[in-house]
Structure 1
């Protein structure tokens, strides 16, 4: 950031524009000042500014920072557009949006496990050039997934809460930025009414609202309750094993659970009586693409996706070698029933 601030403090020989488009003025600053500039056009639109907004500015030997402020003031009313420097970029948006964007841009995923440290390292890999012109969010994320070689889970509920769609057009032109920053900027472009962020758990990049991603990561990093019996320990071991590949496109929940039963050779009991009122039905669609995730991670993500919620309303415990899936209230009843001593009537 010091390098960028130094460049902004340098003077620009000429800054003379008459009814020029804002996007062209910013491009001129990029080249003459040697700075990387990102403007959140979606946020700018909320104050009546777009790429073709015409501005007139005439300055001589002004600092690049002063020229930038003059351009933004000419494009919108004073104070409606501002900028900050973060992660080596000049970030331009509304004050409200910048307040959300800056912490997201500088955040790093918590990485306690080896798989998450590897994921965090992959996100630091520089993307030499991003030139997205009306690229759909799904394609932008696919590109970043391929560049970093990471697993991604995209919460449909998280997208909905942030007013984003997989078909949202992404307009992003940046060079030589870490993949994590490119990801944040793509998510910022897509979110219309809220914020999108990410967290890491079990080597999977979880994309949702910032709070939703953290909550889902905490759930995945938790371990199911189970008494330390031989049967249960066998199940817990299998739950920690890696599943090679999962590809589910609108597959019904009951069929996904059956697939997981067959793939792992485990007994899974679905407490449908408790699950249905919580939004988990036999026919609930599951969209999940996962490579190399642990079985328990696949189970958590399956339930969250099927429920259409940022965090699943269901969980699971292991009892007598069986995985019981239900709501928290349902699991409490199942646990009590499993530990209840049995009695036999005298003949």
Structure 2
């Protein structure tokens, strides 16, 4: 009996050391990277920080020629465009930015969802004196691109969109282990996800997980674990649930008249391919070029950057004159 008691006590102590104590440290924020460290790591040249009202935007502005504005997806940032920007900047002026609550941009005000981001983009375009430009958008950034184009048809020359939600995305089915990890995050450690979770989650968003690069996991982990970041993201999602996702963006899609490129991964578990066919119909007054990519998931620009980048470059060359 004494041995059993000692063994039980040792097991409980081991459990405390291996599981409970790290969770307590995570909850206290001791595992979160600091903003300054993340900025030093991921905002090297040509990054700059632009003040737009109360917001400080992390921006990269490269190349010369017709302007291409790039708007990333939720939970990511301007780094998703690295490969495409390197290709396009040789003959376009490529402007990409982190829109709050993501990346290294900071907004001291409570999020009002994509409606607030829309106002921010409008202010940025006016402040930078951008006249006409094409927009490249991914996922919720693609939705934002449609909203902006419908409101400012005089500004936008073309749209290139990856995996576009025009309505509230369907529920994504996840494994029991991932469900447990999410539960721990929401109920025990609400301000942190460990790196293995991002590696696992991103792998599930790729059609071929072997294509996932360690660097992608690193910047995804660093920027999403910034202190206070998850609170800002929750506010953003709640604002969208009360506004945009109640009605969707189908009305705005029907108002778009510029040429559109839709690039869709056929293994996207977030936005299945039936939504691509539906989106084409919703763009009732625009010419849509649809390209499906077999064995590609939610991030075509990350998973298959060369092929998808060539297709994007070819499309833009057909609708927007290049800089010689």
More strand by share: 1
More helix by share: 2
Task: Flag the structure with more relative contact order, 1 or 2, with Cα contacts below 8 A and sequence separation at least 6.
Answer: 2
Fold conserved between structures, TM > 0.5: no
TM-score (norm 1): 0.24
TM-score (norm 2): 0.26
